Amino acid sequence: MSDFTMPSLGADMDSGTIVEWLVKPGDHVQRGAPMAVVDTDKAAVEIETFQSGVVGDLLVEPGQRVDVGTPLATMLAAGEAPSAAPVSVGKAKRPRARRVPPPREAAAPVPPAVPREAEVAAAAPPAPSPPLRHHAAELGVDLASVTGTGTHGRITRRDVDAAAHRPRVSPYARRLAEELGVDLAAVTGTGTSGTVRAEDVRAAAHARPEVPPVSTEAPRSDRATIAALMSRSKREIPHYYVATTVDMHTVVSWLRDTNRDRSVAERIVPAAALLRAVALAARRMPQLNGFWVDGVFVPGEDVHVGVAISVRRGALVAPALRHAADLELPVLMQALRDLVGRARSGRLTRAELADPTLTVTDLGDQGVEEVFGVIQPPQVALVGIGRLVERPWAVDGRLGVRPLVRLSQSGDHRATDGYTGARFLATIDDLLQHPEAL
Amino acid sequence: MTMTPDQARSLVSKQIRFIVPDADLDGLPPDADLRRTLELDSLDFLEFVERLSKDAGVRIDEDDYPSLATMESCQAFLAARTAASD
Amino acid sequence: MSRRRTSATGTTGTGAIAPPTQHRFELLRQMTRIRLFEERCVELYSATKIRGFLHVGIGEEAVATGVLTVLTAEDSIVSTYREHGHALVRGLSMDSVMAEMFGKVTGCSRGRGGSMHLFDVGHRFYGGNAIVGGGIPMAVGIALADRMRHQTSVTACFFGDGAYAEGEFHESANLAALWRLPLLFCCENNLYAMGTAIEHEQAETDLALRAASYGMASWSVDGMDVAAVEEATRHAVERIRAGDGPCFLELRTYRFRAHSMYDPELYRDKAEVGHWRERDPLELLTAAMRADGELDEDAFEAMTAEARAEVDRAVDTAEQAPFEPVEDLTRFVYSEAVGPGPTRAGEEGAGS
Amino acid sequence: MSTTLVETTYREAMREAMREAMQRDERVFLMGEDVGAYGGCFAVSLGLLEEFGPERIRDTPLSESAFVGAGIGAAIAGMRPIVEIMTVNFSLLALDQIINNAATLSHMSGGQVSVPVVIRMTTGAGRQLAAQHSHSLEGWYGHIPGIKLLAPATVEDARGMLWPALQDPDPVLIFEHGTLYPMPGSLAPDAAPVDISRAAVRRPGKDVTLLTYGGSLPKVMAAAEELATTGIEPEVVDLRVLRPLDDETIVGSVRRTHRAVIVDEGWRTGSLAAEITTRLVEQCFFDLDGPVQRVCSAEVPMPYAKHLEEAALPQVATIVAAARQVVSG
């Protein structure tokens, strides 16, 4: 015995209604014979059997809606006895016109309950008082854009004032403010309707108060903590070292030219150009820009270059120059001066201390020609920069005197290998040969 | 108005003390290299130049940096540069 | 019972010389494979195994079989959405066509085309096409390429009486005739453009007559008699290979089932369907072979059983076959294989 | 090998490109309305019929759907056709073949069928041809995966883009702005093929990025010169490839200048300019120092009268104003 089921007559049909049976229990049917008329939402269609045999019990009544696949009747092989209780048989007479039966009268829509007077009042916040509207107008605040913090959502005077002083800031200006540590609330925008733009932030960054702020209790890395960190690094990190000499002639002469028409405050030092090159190279080689955590390399979410800064009294700190790969050279220079200034005065932000994705230690000013630094765990790379020195150097086959600098890179051999380090230094060297693009 | 050596000395000392508050300037030999003895890195030195040029009201180009190596040379430089503007 | 060669519409030629028995048996086998394959598809669709649109050509088997048995491996085919018969006779495996309808990656179009877009470039089967008449201009282009490279290949394109009203058909007929291209227009006139009877969609319903006005040889053929279809096709293909330009065949046929799986057939009555069922192409051929004493009943039964088994195997393999990994979604938006389309056997890509 | 440059025009550069392609590859042939005896509606194919004969320079009946479909079919069967649709305005009659066949077959056939056809069409307004002959529909076509779009705006690109486009295994549409044909330029006699995947910085700058393509490039360059005299250094980026867009160059430039103006002759709604603005917001939002400006055609059927057409189209003045607005605003 097998089932005759509700067929699917279209991709969008998931149920159907038996309008009328065209067979009755005991009928012999051939494969392809029409069994019943089924109404889907669009039309009434005859459905056929895919097996020959004898109709057993009709399991579904005319008018009953069932899902696709639901057994509608049982089919017996020839000779099997139908079960005792046959379902009532549909109209025997074949309908003359196969028109679609009129849809059942849809239930009259129930009118929504009329909300009582009080409920209506509670829904909308009370209208702002005339004096408040006047105050808002004075400050050029559009009350419709203000959400009230008073009872029932009433707009208060404080809400209006807050809305008046909500600064409109361009996205780039907002990011720059974060990097340069500028408090936006204190910045007056020069853009249309007071919008704060990048130049406003830069101006604010320059007009920093003359008096050095009193050093607050920022986390200072004293000798003990440094010792623990360094020994952990040496213990856990299998260091490899690579180094190269970079001809700084192009950078130095380019800097000299651009600095000539820059105010002293905006002059750019070679160290900044080196940092910029390291940042751009790190962006191109993400495998050096991240952390080794629990045996796996985790790439940094962006390039934050840790700058090793000797703070007075022998302490060392390496805060991050955040998003260094996005900072053009002049902006990076300002960010660097600001970072070093705040590092020396202990006003570093938490993010700057926690987030460097690789570190640069520049001992050039300390007169050392080459330095192979110790990687700051959990980072996987550290770049060492030596002193800028004039040296004899072959240029297109001829001997000349060139400003040179020794670059080194210490790498965590678990994360990368010397080959990567070499490519990294080569990339930095190449970037430094096109200073205008830094 | 040409700057006297004393005026120059106090001016230079003021700028240095701003960058290295605990610098021992009195005991500082006049020909000592300021950058090495006071551990001024390139950024410190840039700030020193910026303040000096603002305070003394004189233009200092990158090519002038060598003449600011020692206290002595600073005094000579400032005297010469302010004399020029008499 | 005398062999009734003449069809209801009086087609060409005198009595066709009876093809050799073995060949007629092969025609019967192909039509049986199509019939059983498509009947199973209807069941699978009702059981929601096949989705989307499904257009079966039950009743039109003689057209696909009669035309494609004449074409060679070097010829090309462009079909339409009612294409299972064309694909199977052309040589696409039942497994690959069924898998395609199950949306599996082993389908002949990696499960991306479904019933209406079967592709097999190895067999020069350049797809179904769900746009009525959409494939016809492309067929013109394939024929143009063959003519420009002095090939004797023929391109056959299938379309219905509905497509005959599309601008694309008229533009293509004129262009093919103008440039004397090796193109065989096969119009499967099953009297209905979905739900519109031909007299409600064509001012002049004699499609062959109108096709002749484009300056190409055109005939109408009894599309239910596979022998007649084969003979007309052979005649047309000879002219085309001889360089006489395109030919047009109006294959008068009829589909016994609805246009697609969701068609209450309000537009025609049962009596008409009953009348055409009396000229079922499979039964016409078996009757003719029996009349000529050429039908080995045991062989016929074995062949039918084998065809049914072939369908069962196709369904089983399709059931187990994997779906295409989602990661491959954007593959082939642009070609991965560099280089020209299929080169003729032995002919290296011309030019640098 | 003489390195002296040859004085030529955009039109002659494209003709030379077709000549060279047909000499180098016998699979290449040209098909379209009046490309043969008439010498091409814009005289681009002048003389080719005499040189290559009617088999390879094929005049077609006015049946865009049929001959574009034929081009697609011939490409499938191994040829490398160049189909010329007289103007983008008539390409609407062939959209079904371009979208449902050319762009779709490779993917829908599971990678079996590739369609190496090149379809060229003249585009754009500015010659008082009124609404039905002045459309800029690059934005429509740029919406369709499966085809590539090129907009040669210089003589060099007109000469160098066709050969790589013919080598591409997928359909490539080339839009030639009608006003560019007479544009003079100098080329090496054996000009090499050019890249067809990157945008080009036509004028480096730092204060604002002016993004444009095709026929608008000359106006944008003029606007850049004018801005430079007022101390604003604009960077001009010529898109060259409208699909796939060269995000790297576009975003890279705006990252440096922090301001963008997009000049697009299409109607603003759903235009290429709209798509590029969205990509800038998605990829360099935190570099934007002001809202992106778009200079597009007025949303009107292009009028015939000159003064009205000029008012409807992007002009040097409106480009300069937009740039100034985003820099100072």
How confident is the model over D190-222, as pLDDT tens digits? 888 999 999 999 999 999 999 999 999 999 999
Catalytic residue flag (residue D55) = no
Among chain A residues, the shortest Cα distance to C268 is held by A98
User: What is the chain C residue with the closest CA to A41?
Assistant: C262
Q: Is D48 helix (H, G, I), strand (E, B) or coil?
A: helix
The number of distinct structural domains making up chain D is 2
Q: Do C351 and D63 touch (CB under 8 A)?
A: no
D135 plus D261 within the same structural domain: no
Residues D95 and D160 in one domain: yes
| Residue A393 identity | W
Our answer to whether residue D307 is catalytic in this structure is no
Chain C residues close to A50, C-beta within 8 Å:
42-43, 46
Do D162 and D272 have their domain in common? no
Which CATH number covers residue D81? 3.40.50.970
- Give CA–CA dist B49/A264, Å, rounded: 7
Query: CA angle at residue D74 from D73 to D80, to 5 degrees?
Result: 130
Q: Output DSSP code: residue A341.
A: H
**Residues of the domain holding D219:** 200-328
Mean pLDDT of the A107-115 span: 43
Residues D178 and D29 in one domain: yes
The mean pLDDT of chain A is 80
Number of CB pairs, chain A paired with chain B, less than 8 A apart = 38
Q: How confident is the model at residue A350 (pLDDT cuts 50, 70, 90)?
A: low
pLDDT band at C14 (very low <50, low <70, confident <90, very high): very low
Question: B43, A269: Cβ pair inside 8 Å?
Answer: yes
The two structure tokens encoding residue D3: 């390195």
Q: Is D30 left (phi over 0), alpha (psi -120 to 50) or beta?
A: beta
Q: What percent of chain C has pLDDT over 70?
A: 90
- Using CA atoms, how far apart are residues A272 and A335, in angstroms rounded to an integer? 10
pLDDT score of A117: 43
Using 50, 70 and 90 to split pLDDT, how confident is the model at A321? Answer: confident
Q: Return the half-sphere exposure (C-beta side, CA atoms, 13 A cut-off) of residue A168.
A: 12
- A interface mutation test: which of C35, C36, C42, C48 has the most A CBs within 10 A? C48
Calpha distance C202→D100 (Å, rounded): 26
Which residue, among B24, B41, B61, would best test binding to A if mutated, counting the most A CBs under 10 Å from its CB? B41
Residues D31 and D156 in one domain: yes
Side-chain-facing half-sphere of A304: CA atoms under 13 Å? 20
**Per-residue pLDDT at D78 exceeds 50:** yes
* Per-domain residue ranges of chain C: 21-316
pLDDT for position C201? 86
Subunits with 3+ C-beta pairs closer than 8 A to B: A
Pairing of strands C196-197, C217-222: unpaired
Q: Burial level of B6, CB count in 10 A (0-12/13-18/19+)? A: exposed
Among candidate residues C220, C34, C224, C72, the one with its CA nearest the CA of residue C156:
C72
Where do we find the tokens 């002919």?
A: C347
Amino acid found at D298:
A
CB pair distance less than 8 Å for D290 and A170: yes
Residues D73 and D28 in one domain: yes
CA separation, residue A167 to residues A185, A208, C64, C339 (Å): 7, 20, 74, 58
Q: Which of D12, D64, D138, D235 is catalytic?
A: D64
* A197 with D255: Cβ contact below 8 A: no
Distance, CA of A349 to CA of A37 (rounded, Å): 77
Give the model confidence (pLDDT) of A124-176 as tens digits: 778 888 888 888 887 778 888 788 888 888 888 888 887 776 668 999 999 99
- CA pair distance C157, D75, nearest whole angstrom: 17
- Highest-scoring range by mean pLDDT, A77-91, A317-331, C267-281: C267-281
CATH class of the domain at C21-316? alpha beta
Alpha-carbon distances of A19 from A38, A144, A432, rounded to whole Å: 5, 57, 83
Segment D140-164 mean pLDDT: 97
Domains of chain A: 2-76 (2.40.50.100), 122-164 (4.10.320.10), 171-206 (4.10.320.10), 223-437 (3.30.559.10)
Say how far apart CA D253 and CA D241 lie, in whole Å: 16
Peptide bond into A403 cis (omega under 30): no
pLDDT at A100: 38
CATH, residue D224 = 3.40.50.920
Which pLDDT tens digit goes with each residue over C90-141?
999 999 999 999 999 999 999 999 999 999 999 999 999 999 999 999 999 9
For residue A348, name the pLDDT band (cuts at 50, 70, 90).
Answer: low
- Rounded to whole angstroms, the Cα distance separating D322 from D329 reads 10
Q: Are A382 and A424 in contact (CB under 8 A)?
A: no
pLDDT tens profile A183-198: 888 888 888 878 899 9
CA distance D214 to D239: 8
Mutate to test the interface with D, among C146, C171, C178, C336 (most CBs of D within 10 A): C171
Chains with 3 or more CB pairs under 8 A to chain D: A, C
pLDDT above 70: percentage of residues in chain D: 99
What is the model's pLDDT at position B84?
63
Q: ipTM for the complex? A: 0.67
For residue A400, name the pLDDT band (cuts at 50, 70, 90).
Answer: confident
The model's pLDDT over A199-245, given as tens digits with 9 standing for 90+, comes to: 999 998 887 654 444 444 444 456 776 777 777 788 888 888 889 98
**Which residue ranges in chain B fall short of pLDDT 50?**
none
**Res D246 pLDDT > 70:** yes
| Interchain contact D/C (3 or more Cβ pairs less than 8 Å) | yes
* Mean model confidence pLDDT for chain D: 95
Strands C196-197, A316-317: pairing kind: unpaired
- For residue D256, give how far its alpha carbon lies from the nearest alpha carbon of chain A (Å): 8
Under an 8 A CB cutoff, do C46 and A8 touch? yes
Look at phi and psi of residue C48 and say left if phi exceeds 0, alpha if psi is from -120 to 50, else beta: left
Please tell me which residue of chain C has the smallest CA distance to D167.
Answer: C339
Task: Give the start-to-end residue ranges of the domains of chain B.
Answer: 5-19+35-84
Q: Identify any residues that bridge with A245 across adjacent strands, giving them in sequence order.
A: A406
Q: Please, are residues A357 and A325 in contact by the beta-carbon 8 Å criterion?
A: no
Q: Is residue D212 part of a domain?
A: yes
d(CA A57, CA A79): 15
| Distant-in-sequence, close-in-space partners of D187: CB < 8 Å, separation ≥ 6 | D5, D6, D8, D13, D155, D156, D159
Per residue in D31-57, pLDDT tens? 999 999 889 989 999 999 999 999 999
User: Given a cut of 60, is residue A101 above it in pLDDT?
Assistant: no
Residue A182 CA to residue A155 CA, distance in Å, equals: 31
Whether the upstream peptide bond of residue A378 has omega within 30° of 0, thus cis, is yes
On whether both D307 and D174 belong to a single domain, the answer is: no
Q: Which tokens hold the place of D252?
A: 């890279």
- Give the range with max mean pLDDT: A56-60, A278-282, A371-375, D117-121: D117-121
Is D192 a domain residue? Answer: no
Give long-range contacts, CB 8 A cutoff, 24+ apart: D291-295: D291/D326, D292/D260, D292/D261, D292/D262, D292/D326, D293/D260, D293/D261, D293/D262, D293/D322, D293/D323, D293/D325, D293/D326, D294/D261, D294/D262, D294/D264, D294/D268, D294/D322, D295/D261, D295/D262, D295/D263, D295/D264, D295/D319, D295/D322
- HEC letters along A75-131: EECCCCCCCCCCCCCCCCCCCCCCCCCCCCCCCCCCCCCCCCHHHHHHHCCCCCCHH
| Residue D193 domain flag | no
CB-based contact C264 A11, cutoff 8 Å: no
How far the first Cα of chain D sits from its last, in Å, is 53
Q: In the prediction, which pLDDT does B16 show?
A: 85
Q: Which amino acid is at D312?
A: A
pLDDT band at A328 (very low <50, low <70, confident <90, very high): confident
